[in-house]
Amino acid sequence: MKILIINGANLNMLGNREPKYYGNQTLDAINQEIKTKTENLNIETEFFQSNHEGEIINAIQKAKCDGIILNAGAFTHYSYAIHDAITSVDIPVIEVHLSNLHKREEFRHKSVLAKACVGQIAGFGKYSYILALEYFAMKD
């Protein structure tokens, strides 16, 4: 099984950006932990990060995988283009977030991507990704 993990806007700044919400680990460190975990789940992972909406759309449209884990960052709250990219492919997508969106600013409470995804996991830090991976592993 192959899973594409897509991280969006500003997630390249993890480790420096608002540690009270996102912790102190870098995205590379989180990806390495995910990669270690997936070896135990017999899942191959590919990682992609971009601050550009169109590149995220291209990654979704070109994906050759069994599932996508998507942390779109702020694009979550307004990108109907990413929503449409998700619905244009026959690949299950799980929306994940490091922080609990509902304990944050009101604009973060709504996801325009959620209806296009099979589920949403938020508030568990890096474990949001692990929970999504475990879903795909159990589904197989």
Q: Please tell me the distance from the alpha carbon of residue 42 to that of residue 22, in angstroms, as a whole number.
A: 28
Our answer to whether residue 21 is catalytic in this structure is: no
Amino acid found at 4: L
The DSSP line for 5-61 is EEE-TTGGGTTTS-HHHH-S--HHHHHHHHHHHHHHHT-EEEEEE-S-HHHHHHHHH
Single out the catalytic residue among 52, 77, 83, 97: 97
Residue showing tokens 């474990």: 127
> What digits encode the pLDDT tens for the residues 23-55?
678 999 999 999 998 888 889 999 999 999 999
Our answer to whether residue 97 is catalytic in this structure is: yes
Looking at the whole model, is its pTM more than 0.95? no
User: C-alpha distances in angstroms, 6 versus 14, 85, 88, 120, 138?
Assistant: 14, 13, 16, 14, 21
**pLDDT value of residue 107:** 67
Single out the catalytic residue among 21, 22, 78, 109: 22
Q: Which helix (H) or strand (E) holds 122?
A: strand 119-122
Q: Please tell me the distance from the alpha carbon of residue 107 to that of residue 105, in angstroms, as a whole number.
A: 6
Q: What residue ranges define each of the domains in the chain, with the CATH number in brackets?
A: 2-139 (3.40.50.9100)
User: C-alpha distances in angstroms, 93 versus 17, 21, 28, 76?
Assistant: 26, 24, 22, 13
Give the SS3 label for residue 113. Answer: coil
pLDDT bracket for residue 14 (50, 70, 90): confident
